[in-house]
Amino acid sequence: MVRVAAAFALYTAGVHLFAGQKRVVAPMEQASFSAFARSTLFVVWHITSFLLLTIAAVLAWFGDAIDPVLRLVLAAQAGFAALLFLARGQQAHGGGFPLPQWILLGPLALAIAVPRFAAPVVLLALAVVHVAWVFGVAWPSPSTRVAPTFVIGWPESSRLPSPPATLTVAATLVGMAAVTLHGPRWAALAIAAVLGLRGVYGPFERWIRPSIVKTPYRLLSAAFYSPLCLFLAALIVARA
């Protein structure tokens, strides 16, 4: 299961290196602040690249035989980075989606620290978020007005799905978490198949639903939601 986390760490490093180069590093190089500040940010950016690649390499090398202390150190690195992105996104933008790196780093930290329980914990966390939406909490979107554009790909004028529909999804996620923990092997593999299909669907969604192209959901789905679903599916299969 640790090598599943290694593959996900490598994917996270790839997102950081390639998507980040276009969306963060290139605009930063053209920014108006001092050359010293630009150079410092550039160096820090690629220190992070090295750390992510190191996490992937160490996990792949040692696998399930990894030393417990080293495991906790690597998990702490990923977890602290996830918390930083969450805190800064909340402070600067009022939500977690404008800095979505935590969507990858948080589950990665869990999968390193407690690989057997990472998938059920993530599924339960998603259920809690769905219940919060029923009570009018927009998080991790900046506001309820823009929430549909981040989580579904609907226009800003839309509303989130009805409370009964949202609670049904939350209950389904809780059931999926329970099955992955204590259910029969065939049921866990069926859940993995559903998550895997959602993961495969993501990169093609823009052609199936052209309306999402101008929404933040398009990038979030392709680069974050879908890979997370594939990661959870792989963890469930490895556990089963």
Q: Is the pLDDT of residue 113 over 80?
A: yes
The helix (H) or strand (E) run that includes residue 42 is: helix 35-62
The CA radius of gyration of the chain, in Å to the nearest whole number, is: 18
- d(CA 158, CA 182) in angstroms, rounded, equals 38
What pLDDT was estimated at residue 126? 96
Residue 184: predicted pLDDT: 93
**What pLDDT is recorded for position 156?**
81
Least reliable range by pLDDT among 6-20, 28-42, 88-102, 172-186: 28-42
Of 43 and 172, the one with more pLDDT: 172
Going by pLDDT thresholds of 50, 70 and 90, the confidence category of residue 61 is very high
Measured CA to CA, the distance from residue 240 to residue 186 in angstroms comes to 9
pLDDT above 80 (res 26): no
Tell me the pLDDT band of 94, cut-offs 50, 70 and 90.
confident
Mean pLDDT, range 172-181, rounded to an integer:
95
Helices (H), 94-114: 102-113
Answer yes or no: is pLDDT of 23 > 80.
no
Joined together, the tokens standing for residue 43 give: 């160096």
- 9 and 108 Cβ atoms separated by less than 8 Å: yes
Sign, Cα dihedral of 211, 215, 219, 224 = negative
Split at pLDDT 50, 70, 90, the class of 240 is confident
**Total number of residues shown for the chain:** 240
Q: Which contacts (CB < 8 Å, 24+ apart) does range 54-62 have?
A: 55/6, 55/9, 55/13, 55/108, 55/112, 56/6, 56/7, 56/9, 56/10, 56/13, 57/6, 59/2, 59/3, 59/5, 59/6, 59/9, 59/112, 60/3, 60/6, 60/7, 60/10, 62/2
**What is the tens place of the pLDDT at every residue in 120-174?**
999 999 999 999 999 989 899 888 888 999 999 998 878 889 999 999 999 999 9
pLDDT band at residue 20 using 50, 70 and 90 as cut-offs = confident
Cis peptide before 68 (omega within 30 of 0): no
Q: What's the average model confidence in pLDDT over 106-113?
A: 96
Range with the largest mean pLDDT of 5-9, 38-42, 211-215: 5-9
Separation of alpha carbons 239 and 191, rounded Å: 12
Q: Are 231 and 8 in contact (CB under 8 A)?
A: yes
pTM (predicted TM-score): 0.91
How high is the mean pLDDT of the chain? 90
pLDDT at 78 over 90: yes
Q: Output the CA–CA distances (angstroms, integers) from residue 64 to 52, 87, 111, 125, 161, in the order listed.
A: 19, 31, 12, 25, 41
Residue 221 has pLDDT above 90, yes or no: yes
